[in-house]
Amino acid sequence: MEVLEHFNLKNFNTFRVSASARYFVNANSLTSLRDALEFARHKQVDYMLIGQGSNLLFRQDYPGLVIEMNIRGRQLVDDNDRHWIVKALCGENWPAFVQWCVEQGYYGLENLSLIPGTIGAAPVQNIGAYGVELKDVMLGLEALNRETGELRTFSNADCQFAYRHSIFKGELRDQYIIYSVSFRLNKSPVVNIAYGALAKALEGVPDNEITPEKVAQTVCKIRRSKLPNPSRLGNAGSFFWNPLVSLQEFEQLQKAFPGIVGYRDGDQVKLAAAWLIEQAGWKGHREGDVGVHEDHALVLVNHGHATGAELVDLSERIQRSVHDKFGVSLTPEVRII
């Protein structure tokens, strides 16, 4: 295990902001991961895990150990009459894994195409898009106990999934590191195009041509049209979660703002954060090298040499203005360090 000191993290976060880690380790095996945890204990420093830095914003240097989760591997481990069981290790790139599954005829992940990040990060916040969430396709996972170094198996139910939430963000926060994830995927092509934007994009396409491959291609096209490529413009995709309000609160908001965008989610309504931010006047806003994307108000961007502190300051001003206008609180989806 090689430990690097005073390591610049600019190329390890998609905002492309400069920040220094006191120590840095590339963990590419279970052994090196355990060694890295022991190193942090020995040095008596905090540590944090990163995948591809697609959900991170460093507003300052990190005084401890940054562990890059780079443990890779994917394989078909079992099957039955209806399903394939596919296992992937935590460092696998999520978009590449989804594409591989579709190419192999392992169906069910198509709606989750092109979500940035790694396999290990996906269950933590129960990633979801276009009507599908991770909980709908995950069979189980293995996670490393941070204190004992032992692996524990979690079933889907054990993970206590909810909207952008799991037990790893709640009761077991900072106690486990996800090592591998197993998926139950369909042998027969089954598509889910109920989500509005996806259904609209596929209008006019004959039913027999709406295949899992077509759904994956369409999702990728939609995402690319909405979200800037972080290799060209620093960003972490959607900066805020879509807030949930009660039905009564939504009705009151509708009276005051007839055009407000919301979607029923059980006994609540999920508001479109992008609409709220745009109505508050932030879409396309720029000051220096920080700004809000001109095509998507939910995306904060680094136009070149912005600092993390500047981006956090902008996000906080957006939160205040949305709350002042609508009485609705926005919560960052991006992890701020």
Catalytic residue among 72, 278, 333, 335: 333
Distance CA 71, CA 60 (A): 27
Tell me how far the alpha carbon of residue 223 is from its chain's centroid: 13
- Long-range CB contacts (< 8 A, 24+ apart) of 267-273? 268/244, 269/244, 269/245, 270/163, 270/242, 270/243, 270/244, 271/242, 271/243, 271/244, 271/245, 271/328, 272/242, 273/238, 273/240, 273/241, 273/242, 273/243, 273/298, 273/330
Catalytic residue among 54, 113, 238, 315: 238
- Residue 72: how many CA atoms within 13 Å on its side-chain side? 10
Backbone angles phi, psi at 86, to 5 degrees: -120, 135
Distance CA 236, CA 301 (A): 8
The residue ranges of DSSP E strands in the chain, in sequence order, are 3-8, 20-27, 47-50, 56-57, 62-69, 74-79, 83-89, 128-129, 132-133, 138-145, 151-155, 176-186, 234-238, 244-246, 262-265, 268-271, 286-287, 290-292, 299-302, 335-336
- In the residue annotation, 238 being an active-site residue is answered as yes
Distance CA 250, CA 255 (A): 9
Distance CA 291, CA 104 (A): 40
Catalytic residue among 22, 72, 164, 223: 164
- In the residue annotation, 164 being an active-site residue is answered as yes
**CB–CB of 130/111 below 8 Å?**
yes
Distance CA 314, CA 332 (A): 12
Backbone angles phi, psi at 135, to 5 degrees: -60, -20
For the annotated catalytic residues, the residue numbers are 164, 238, 333
